[in-house]
């Protein structure tokens, strides 16, 4: 059972806008920043969004992040087939004094 809650799956058709939620509590997302990671099968995770809504160099602006209260969201607009991957949210938890991950969301492009 992950400390941060994500839907196990999400889907959309090419060109659509998809959002993936990440729900936490006052000890993590409610008081700390959220980062998002993208992982393709058999490869290491890659930083997608950092500090709630910042994109590293090279990440398309189709990807955006937001945080409100104890929840966060990752939005992907203009969905493309190459976006099919697993997505993980992460935050620091003040009570656990450590990093917590969401359980991950498998995105399927129909």
Partner 1 sequence: QVQLQESGPGLVKPSQTLSLTCSVSGDSISSDSYYWSWIRQPAGKGLEWIGRAYSSGSTNYNSSLKSRVTISVDRSKNQFSLKLSSVTAADTAVYYCARDRGQWLGNYYYYYKDVWGKGTTVTVSS
Point out which residues bind partner 1 (CB under 8 A): 2, 32-33, 35, 37, 43-47, 50-51, 56, 88, 90, 92, 96-104
> Could you tell me if 25 and 5 are in contact, meaning their C-beta atoms sit under 8 angstroms apart?
no
Which CB sits closer to partner 1, 14 or 60? 60
Lookup: tokens for 27: 């000890």
Tell the smallest beta-carbon distance from residue 97 to partner 1 (Å): 6
C-alpha 107/C-alpha 110 separation (Å) is: 10
- The closest of 81, 44, 43, 34 to 62, measured between CA atoms, is 81
Q: Which is nearer to partner 1, 8 or 13 (CB)?
A: 8
Give the nearer residue to partner 1 in terms of CB position, either 47 or 75.
47
């Amino acid at each position: 059972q992950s400390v941060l809650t994500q839907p196990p799956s999400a889907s959309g058709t090419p060109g659509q806008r998809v959002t993936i939620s990440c729900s936490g509590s006052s000890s993590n997302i409610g008081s700390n920043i959220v980062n998002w990671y993208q992982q393709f099968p058999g490869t290491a995770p890659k930083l997608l969004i950092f500090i709630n809504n910042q994109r590293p160099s090279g990440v398309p602006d189709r990807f955006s992040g937001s945080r409100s209260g104890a929840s966060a969201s990752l939005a992907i607009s203009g969905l493309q087939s190459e976006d099919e991957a697993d997505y993980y949210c992460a935050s620091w938890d003040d009570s656990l004094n450590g990093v917590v991950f969401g359980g991950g969301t498998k995105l399927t492009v129909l």
